[in-house]
Amino acid sequence: IGYAEALELQKTLETQRKAGEIGDQLLLLEHPHVLTLGRNGHQENVLVSRDRLAQLGIQFYENNRGGDITYHGPGQIVGYPIVDLREWKRDVVAYVRSVEEVIIRVLKRYGIEGERDAGATGVWTRRPDCKSAKEAGQVAKVCAIGVHLSRWVTTHGFALNWTTDLRYFDYIMPCGLTRPVTSLEQLGVR
């Protein structure tokens, strides 16, 4: 589903959830190539021009979620929970940590040890493909997380790299960090 279409669907569900017309929702989907820049993002973390992005068939959107720049595309599982936190906890940090925990538990089912990094939201894992002692034990991001809350109802969410073509991350500094990204496929999960 296109990013703009998914954004409109989130807005509709958010409005309905705020009005109590529906229960909590979870959208699981996949986008064509797109970069999204969160409200705290920095344009300089996009490493190519908008013209070059267009040539590559990559759309670009600025949005109101937390975080910096990220890539969405084929082979990536994108989850958008539309949840009313008034019925759980009115705590943004606890919510983000819970999303991380869900992803960590999913990874464990596939034999991958996911972990948190105190300085960077998302889920990380040790890279088995390290080629040198310098890289040994280096972690790579396997799942990005960026959320937005309005009157305690959540939108946006997570992007889990499954069979994602990781070369698209070369066009950005993902989440404003110079650290590597990985995918479940790269970690040996088919």
Active site residues: 175
Residue 26: C-alpha distances to residues 107, 158, 184 (Å): 19, 11, 21
What separation in angstroms does the CA of 150 have from each of 22, 86, 100, 153? Answer: 16, 11, 20, 5
C-alpha to C-alpha distances, 189 to 2, 42, 139, 183, nearest whole angstrom: 26, 33, 17, 9
Distance CA 114, CA 189 (A): 14
What sign has the CA pseudo-torsion 149, 157, 67, 30?
negative
Q: CA-to-CA distance for 151 and 34, rounded, in angstroms? A: 28
